[in-house]
Amino acid sequence: MLFYLTIIFGCQLIGESLVSWLQLPVPGPVIGMALLFLALNWKGSVPDDLSRVADGLLSNLSLLFIPAGVGVMLHFRLIETAFWPITIALVVSTLLTIALTGLFMTWLGKHPPAKQENSTEGKA
């Protein structure tokens, strides 16, 4: 299991390194997650031990929000002075996300994916 935890953190490290080296506007963990996804797609399956490690991390995910909560409490006065701009930005971005997701899903519903032909059909 330690091997798969090392793989997960290694992908994150590679993602952070790529973001730093290439000056990408994307968080390093997102790049690392994409790399892990591509590797798993190439492999064709998720190993059972990797699945257990990932489930263990996900079950304790709430612990990772403690530093963010401490940061909010630490900078409470700063947040208090910018309360309305923060609130407006959150409300507008949430409504925009909901609207764009609805429009995109409507568009996808009108354009179903093309059916793939079976390569064995028509052969004698």
pLDDT in tens, the chain (124 residues): 899 999 999 999 999 999 999 998 989 999 999 999 999 999 888 999 999 999 998 898 888 788 888 888 888 888 889 999 999 999 999 999 999 999 999 988 887 777 766 655 555 4
Residue 41 lies in a domain: yes
Q: Would you state the pLDDT for residue 71? A: 82
Cα dist from 20 to 6, 34, 38, 109, 124, whole Å: 21, 16, 21, 39, 56
Residue after which a domain boundary falls, among 43, 59, 75: 59
Do 48 and 30 lie in one domain? The reply is yes
For the chain, the domain total comes to 2
pLDDT at 49: 92
* Residue 47 and residue 85 share a domain: no
pLDDT of residue 89: 96
116 falls within a domain:
no
Show the domain range for 91. 64-110
Establish if 122 belongs to a structural domain: no
DSSP state, 120? T
Contact present, 32 and 48 (Cβ < 8 Å): no
| 92, part of any domain | yes
Q: What is the pTM of this model?
A: 0.56
